[in-house]
Amino acid sequence: MSFKVLIKICETGIFQRVSGQKPGWISVARCFSTTMSRTVLKDSPNAALDKSLLQRYIDLPQPDNKVQAKYIWIDGTGEGLRCKSRTLDFIPKDPKELPMWTYDGSSTYQAEGGNSDIFLSPVAIYNDPFRRGNNKLVLCDTYTSDKTPTKSNRRYKANEAMEAIKDVEPWFGIEQEYTFLDFDGRPLGWPKNGFPGPQGPYYCGVGADKVIGREIVEAHYRACLYAGINIAGTNAEVMPSQWEFQVGPCVGISGGDDLWVARFLLHRIAEEYGVIVTLDPKPVEGAWNGAGAHTNFSTKAMRGENGIAEIEKAIDKLSKKHLRHIQAYDPRGGKDNERRLTGHCETSSIHDFSAGVANRNVSIRIPRGVAEDKKGYLEDRRPSSNCDPYAVCEALVRTCVLNE
């Protein structure tokens, strides 16, 4: 008896079908195929450097009266982070004590060469997990030469909104999904000429054939805690090499501040490993989950007795402002989210507003526990992974609290 074995390689994996036997394709690739070539970080210059040498210099005694401050800011893309360091002769306790500084905005897509100085205004201080001791990370927002906020300074207006509604005590919890990439732009550890087995075993997975890059996730988690970021947790995501961390619950503007600095730490730590972190909302086309920044939001009334009524009121207001939110939820006014909010892969369609209890294919989800307790918070699942959290939190507050 003769039979034919057919092999098909497609985006979701490798499948085999044997003629004359039960019809249908069955998956034959292991989670990560070992039969296909997979050279990891071959072209990554940072991965090639000897990481143990730096410790010699970090261990050198630092003069008591000298503090290293790394100023961090968002560049003209609204997504990219920049930083530079300076020496201080005091230990800063409050951002107001820190000097303003300037940088060359013509090199960050923020100014013309002829009038290039952009001002850095310190807004939050964190402990520096790389330099330790009294050394600090300083988050800044940015202003043009006439002291108006730059276009990518979304914090300025968000902070105005947060100040205006302080009495409702807004809390934000943001779930940052992201993907590790190798130097060829493909997810880290994926076969170079194919795909891993289909999604299913990877989410919250454990084991060498289930997750990739956990050491970076662990390093980042501890570094965030050391820095003073209100990090809530981490988990492996649905697509291999995709992960998540959460900040929150954070009060008001600090949600955006903590998320931006946590992003900085993630890029910075992955840099040491020679790994790229992408916040692209759909790093691999097809049946692979995209990445979001689900934003969990509550007010004092929502958290109080029978707060569910308040949550439902907010959802009703959100249903009437879908477009405003889509425009605010990625750096390209909705263009990025078009690739992600397809209605598949645990998303809702970008074109429709929907809400539901424990449903992951909707715009707004009421977590099961919140429905049972009749109080708590709502989860807005629409923000893209590369969103500006200041713009997202501001939109939520303007729609749900300020009734704008």
The residues binding Mn ion (CB under 5 A) are 175, 244, 294
- Nearest approach, Cβ of residue 255 and ligand ADP (Å): 9
DSSP per-residue letters across 361-388: SSSEEE-HHHHHHT-S-EEE--SBTT--
- According to CB under 6 A, which one of 232, 251, 287, 371 is a site residue for ligand ADP? 232
The residue (of 139 and 393) whose beta carbon lies closer to ligand ADP is: 393
Residue 254 Cα distances to 81, 124, 125, 228, angstroms: 17, 9, 11, 11
- 9-17, 130-138, 205-213, 371-379 -> range binding ligand ADP (CB under 6 A): 371-379
- Nearest approach, Cβ of residue 351 and ligand ADP (Å): 23
- 13-21, 31-39, 141-149, 375-383 -> range binding ligand ADP (CB under 6 A): 375-383
Task: Please choose which of ligand ADP, Mn ion, none residue 303 contacts, taking the beta carbon within 5 to 8 angstroms, the exact cut-off set by kind.
Answer: ligand ADP
Before 61, cis peptide (omega within 30)? no
Cβ atoms of 216 and 270 closer than 8 Å: yes
- Nearest approach, Cβ of residue 32 and Mn ion (Å): 21
Task: Please choose which of Mn ion, ligand ADP, none residue 389 contacts, taking the beta carbon within 5 to 8 angstroms, the exact cut-off set by kind.
Answer: none
The residue (of 300 and 335) whose beta carbon lies closer to ligand ADP is: 300
The residue (of 161 and 284) whose beta carbon lies closer to Mn ion is: 284
**Parallel/antiparallel/unpaired status of strands 355-357 and 364-366:** parallel
Cβ atoms of 117 and 102 closer than 8 Å: yes
- Nearest approach, Cβ of residue 217 and ligand ADP (Å): 14
Cβ atoms of 244 and 175 closer than 8 Å: yes
The residue (of 249 and 274) whose beta carbon lies closer to ligand ADP is: 249
Cβ atoms of 380 and 143 closer than 8 Å: no
- Count of positions on this chain that bind ligand ADP (CB under 6 A): 16
Q: Which amino acid is at 253?
A: I
The residue (of 153 and 337) whose beta carbon lies closer to ligand ADP is: 337
Give the burial class of 170: count Cβ atoms within 10 A of its Cβ; 0-12 exposed, 13-18 middle, 19 or more buried: buried
Q: Is 246 in the site for ligand ADP (CB under 6 A)?
A: yes
Residue 159 Cα distances to 153, 277, 331, 398, angstroms: 11, 28, 19, 12
User: ∠112-118-121 over CA atoms, to 5°?
Assistant: 165
The whole-angstrom separation of Cα 308 and Cα 203 is 30
User: What is the token pair recorded at 13?
Assistant: 């994996």
The whole-angstrom separation of Cα 211 and Cα 237 is 9
The residue (of 54 and 204) whose beta carbon lies closer to Mn ion is: 204
Q: Is 298 in the site for ligand ADP (CB under 6 A)?
A: yes
The residue (of 175 and 394) whose beta carbon lies closer to Mn ion is: 175
Q: What is the CB neighbour count within 10 angstroms for residue 179?
A: 27
- Nearest approach, Cβ of residue 27 and ligand ADP (Å): 27
Rg value, the chain, Cα: 23
Coil vs helix vs strand at 48: helix
Q: Which residues pair with 247 in a beta bridge?
A: 174, 231
- According to CB under 6 A, which one of 177, 379, 388, 394 is a site residue for ligand ADP? 379
Q: What is the CB neighbour count within 10 angstroms for residue 226?
A: 15
Q: Is 179 in the site for ligand ADP (CB under 6 A)?
A: no
The residue (of 79 and 175) whose beta carbon lies closer to Mn ion is: 175
Q: Is 175 in the site for ligand ADP (CB under 6 A)?
A: yes
Query: Which single residue brings its beta carbon nearest to ligand ADP?
Result: 173
The residue (of 195 and 377) whose beta carbon lies closer to Mn ion is: 377
Q: Of 184-203, which residues contact ligand ADP (CB under 6 A)?
A: none
Query: Which single residue brings its beta carbon nearest to Mn ion?
Result: 294
Q: Is 377 in the site for ligand ADP (CB under 6 A)?
A: yes
Q: Is 248 in the site for ligand ADP (CB under 6 A)?
A: yes
- According to CB under 6 A, which one of 173, 256, 283, 389 is a site residue for ligand ADP? 173
Interacting residues toward ligand ADP by CB under 6 A: 171-173, 175, 232, 246, 248-249, 294, 296-298, 303, 376-377, 379
